[in-house]
Amino acid sequence: MTSTMLKILALLFMFLDHVAEFIPGAPIWLHWIGRISAPIFFFCMAWGFYYTSNRKIYLSRMYGFGVIMALINYICNNIYPDPYCYISNNIFVTLFLIGVISWILEIRKNDKKERK
């Protein structure tokens, strides 16, 4: 299975999770299926980060999409204020932080090899 197919599958699972989250009375098994999407996205992010040619651009895209998503969440929460439906999900920030931590760990690993 290619990474594109994994991402499409994760998008489908994420859609089911959002249906269960935002539509009252949706079956609980939609949440169960939907929770599989985050680990798939994390795997694809780590895989893409490993094989990318320019990590700064890769991380800047993740950061940029995280900022855009945060702005959309802020606008939606202020236009439609509903205490029972506050949107605070932003996977791009988590993906960005995974990339930063991976990069730091790789730099430390390479520094230790150079010292020996």
pLDDT at residue 59 above 80? Answer: yes
Q: Phi and psi dihedrals of 27, rounded to 5? A: -65, 150
For residue 40, give the nearest of 88, 93, 2, 86 by alpha carbon.
Answer: 2
Check pLDDT > 70 for residue 116.
Answer: no
* Global confidence as pTM: 0.79
Asked whether residue 56 carries a pLDDT value surpassing 70, the answer given is: yes
Residue 82 confidence (pLDDT): 73
Triad 108, 63, 65: Cα angle to 5°:
150
Conformational region of residue 25, where left means phi above 0, alpha means psi within -120 to 50, and beta covers everything else: left
| pLDDT exceeds cutoff 80 at 113 | no
